[in-house]
Copies of this chain bind each other. A is one copy, B any other.
Amino acid sequence: MASKRFLVSFVAVVAFAAAVASVQAADPEEIRDFAPPPNGAAPNGDYFTFKGLRNLDVSTGAFANVTAVNVKGFPALSGLGVSNALLLYPPGSVNAPHTHPRGTETLFVIEGSLDVGLLDTTAPIPTLFTQTLQTGDIFVFPRGLVHFQINRGQKKAKAYASFSSTFPGTVSLPRTLFKTGISNDVLTKSFGVSDNIIQALVAA
């Protein structure tokens, strides 16, 4: 069903709309050792620790399940220039083509095997780079470029991402292009297909 297609793969981001005001505006280079806890409490070891990835596991589903560990959920990262995410890929699942507008990503395979792809901006036709990653391999997806992963294996895969920003953002291309109400004329002309095709994509 179409609604399942809207499975929220980015758990931490779900709350973004409601909480945008609490995200720090910028990622300037921090001139204090670290930003103090937002609630005014004194920092302690827990402030520098993120414990939300313990015991996460998902073994079914059509899409990768992504838990971001960025400045929004881990305020100690503020101004420190790095963040992470844990990605769980049931067998057959895909992390649909997307970009991270504000950060480069390195992806480290912790378990299983993963097929990945990266597109550059060569014109007129971008170059596609692919790879089958084994456990222990790392792939780099430069800032702002389109990329995706798919788990073609029989077993689940697990990977851990590192970003060059405390809040890199994610532009999910299927949703951004076909679920946001862009006018039909823009879509038919841009993709060079008829209304039917666009309607299938919008209804998916």
Contacts and interface: CB of A to CB of B under 8 A. Distances in A.
B143 A102 contact: yes
Interface in A69-127: 69, 71, 74, 76-84, 92-94, 96-97, 99-106, 108, 110, 117-127
Query: How many identical chains are in the complex?
Result: 6
B162 A84 contact: yes
A104 B74 CA distance: 14
A131 B48 contact: yes
Contact of A174 (B55, B82, B175, B190): B190
Interface string A17-44: 1001101111111111111100000011
A27 B28 contact: yes
A58 interface: no
Nearest to A128: B180
B170 A191 contact: no
Contact of A140 (B80, B148, B167): B80
B131 A189 contact: no
19 contacts: A20-B32, A31-B71, A33-B101, A53-B137, A81-B103, A82-B103, A84-B138, A94-B185, A96-B191, A97-B190, A106-B162, A110-B110, A117-B182, A117-B183, A125-B180, A128-B181, A144-B144, A146-B177, A174-B190
